[in-house]
Amino acid sequence: MMIVMRPLRRWLGVLAAGGLLFAAAAAGEMPREERRSGFDFMSDATKAMQRDDTLNPGMLWLLEGEALWRRKAGSANRSCADCHGEAAASMRGVAARYPTYDIREARAIDLQGRVNACRVRHQDAPPFGHETPELLGLVAYVANQSRGMAIAPDSDERLAPFRENGRRLFNERLGQLHFSCAQCHDDLWGERLGGSVIPQAHPTGYPIYRLEWQAMGSLQRRLRNCLTGVRAEPYAYGAQEYIDLELYLMERARGLALETPAVRP
């Protein structure tokens, strides 16, 4: 499948990140004014790769997602577009407020869980596997419709216990190295681990094209890398722990702009 792009306006992304931080104070370990996306910690070369859609390798996945949006699927022979119309209209703002509450399953659900739930419930199709190009592509395509928008987590009260679980996990020491996320990402961001600068761990651009993976991957994949990094056994893909963590991380990142598809080292 090939896409031809005509060079148009370049998306300058979150260079003016400061403009999107909300002045309103909120409880949290990190002072609002200090919060910066992982984008700000990258080299100029990697930033350039993200800024320009004609250079960003994540676009290869996103464009597949765009094709999948229109493709009829399952026994219901229905495409996403058949119910949702043009994604640019119907999906605008969606990724900015996920994870959200799924009534049927009575739990917090992330965007990839929602895509798969739609496949099963409304297209009568099997769910996409974790980290498959189809799932990553569709989620990237949907999330891209919120690019540039401020992260604005869903205020549904039923999400509170899940978010609190996420906050607990973020602060819990894990693994043989006995580190918590907070120790590096709240207390030591900006310092270096090995040759790399420690970012603040805001999920501003997921799914991301990570240079280390040479491919696009989900937040769950990235969290698994962190868990392996502290020598903890990662939770299985799809575990509620990842969704709860994402809920907390998105609240912690409230007001930062979404960048999907981001590029990260």
Partner 1 sequence: MDAVPITRATRRQVLLTGAGLLAVALVRPARADAPDMASVIRDFVGEAVVRSGRVKLEIPALVENGNAAPVTLKVDSPMTEADHVKAIAVFNEKNPQPNVAIFHLGPRAGRAEIATRMRLATSQKVTAIAALSDGTFWSDSADVIVTLAACIEG
Partner 2 sequence: MARVLITVPEHAKPGEVIEIKTLISHPMETGYRAGADGRPLPRDIIRRFTCSYNGVEIFRADLFPAMSANPFIAFSTVVTETGTLTFTWQGDNGFNQTETATITVS
Angle CA(134)–CA(126)–CA(115) in degrees, nearest 5?
A: 55
Task: State in angstroms the smallest separation of the CB of 55 from partner 2.
Answer: 7
Contact residue for partner 2 among 17, 30, 42, 59 (CB under 8 A): 59
- The dihedrals phi and psi of 102, each to the nearest 5 degrees, come to -100, 115
Residue 195, binding choice from partner 2, partner 1, none, Cβ under 5 to 8 Å by partner class: partner 1
Residues 46-105 that bind partner 1 (CB under 8 A): 46, 48-49
The end-to-end CA distance of the chain, in Å, is: 27
Helix axes 219-229, 240-252, angle to 10 degrees: 100
* Cβ–Cβ under 8 Å, residues 146 and 94: yes
Q: Is 7 in the site for partner 1 (CB under 8 A)?
A: no
Q: Is 194 in the site for partner 1 (CB under 8 A)?
A: yes
226 is catalytic: yes
* Cβ–Cβ under 8 Å, residues 49 and 263: yes
Peptide bond into 207 cis (omega under 30): yes
Q: Which residue lies nearer to partner 1 by CB, 46 or 90? A: 46
Residues 22-51 that bind partner 1 (CB under 8 A): 42-46, 48-49
Q: Is 61 in the site for partner 2 (CB under 8 A)?
A: yes
Contact residue for partner 2 among 30, 63, 169, 249 (CB under 8 A): 63
Residues 164-193 that bind partner 1 (CB under 8 A): 193
Contact residue for partner 1 among 29, 86, 124, 212 (CB under 8 A): 212
Q: Is 265 in the site for partner 1 (CB under 8 A)?
A: yes
Residue 63, binding choice from partner 2, partner 1, none, Cβ under 5 to 8 Å by partner class: partner 2
What is the distance between the alpha carbons of residues 143 and 125, in angstroms, rounded to a whole number? Answer: 22
Q: Which residue lies nearer to partner 1 by CB, 69 or 209? A: 209
What is the distance between the alpha carbons of residues 186 and 258, in angstroms, rounded to a whole number? Answer: 20
Task: State in angstroms the smallest separation of the CB of 184 from partner 1.
Answer: 9
* Cβ–Cβ under 8 Å, residues 131 and 218: yes
DSSP 128: P
Give me the helices (H) in 123-197, please.
Answer: 133-144, 160-171, 181-185
Contact residues for 177 (Cβ-Cβ < 8 A; gap 6+): 229, 230, 231
- Residues of 216-252 as b/e, b for ≥16 C-beta within 10 angstroms? bbbbbbbbbebbeebebebbeeeebbbbbbbbbbbbb
Contact residue for partner 1 among 52, 211, 235, 238 (CB under 8 A): 211
Binding flags for partner 2, 176-215, as an x/- string (CB under 8 A)? --------------------------------------xx
Contact residue for partner 1 among 11, 213, 235, 237 (CB under 8 A): 213
Q: Is 244 in the site for partner 2 (CB under 8 A)?
A: no
Show which residues are catalytic. 226
Binding site for partner 2 (CB under 8 A): 1-7, 54-55, 57, 59-61, 63-64, 214-215
